C-alpha cells in the first residue's frame, strides 16, 4: 500500500471514530449531582443525630434518676 493511501485511511479512521460531542451539554448537572450527594449525607446525619439525642436522653435520664435517688435520701452523710 502506498504511503499516501495509508494517510488517507488514517484520516478516514480518525473521522469515523471521532469522540461523541454533545451540542447540548448540561453543565449544571455536576452541581446538581453534588447536591444530591450532600443531601444523602445530611439524610444519614439526621438519623445519626437522632440516635445521638436518644443516647444523650438516656444518659440524662440515668443522671436524673441518680440525682432523684440522692435527693430522696436526705442527710445521708449525717
Which member of 4, 17, 31, 76 binds other proteins (CB under 8 A)? 31
How many residues bind to other proteins according to rule CB under 8 A? Answer: 22
The verdict on 1 binding other proteins (CB under 8 A) reads: no
45 binds other proteins (CB under 8 A): yes
| CA–CA separation, 28 and 68 (whole Å) | 58
| Of 27 and 74, CB closest to other proteins | 27
Could you give the dihedral angle defined by the CA atoms of residues 16, 21, 23 and 28, in that order, rounded to the nearest 10 degrees? 170
Contact with other proteins (CB under 8 A) among 9, 33, 52, 55: 33
22 binds other proteins (CB under 8 A): yes
Rg (CA), the chain: 35
Cα–Cα distance measured from residue 48 to residue 38, given in angstroms and rounded to the nearest whole number: 15
Amino acid at each position: 500500500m502506498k504511503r499516501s493511501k495509508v494517510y488517507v485511511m488514517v484520516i478516514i479512521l480518525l473521522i469515523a471514530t471521532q469522540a461523541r460531542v454533545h451540542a447540548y451539554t448540561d453543565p449544571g448537572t455536576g452541581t446538581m449531582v453534588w447536591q444530591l450527594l450532600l443531601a444523602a449525607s445530611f439524610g444519614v446525619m439526621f438519623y445519626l443525630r437522632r440516635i445521638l439525642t436518644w443516647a444523650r436522653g438516656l444518659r440524662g435520664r440515668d443522671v436524673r434518676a441518680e440525682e432523684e435517688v440522692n435527693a430522696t435520701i436526705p442527710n445521708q452523710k449525717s
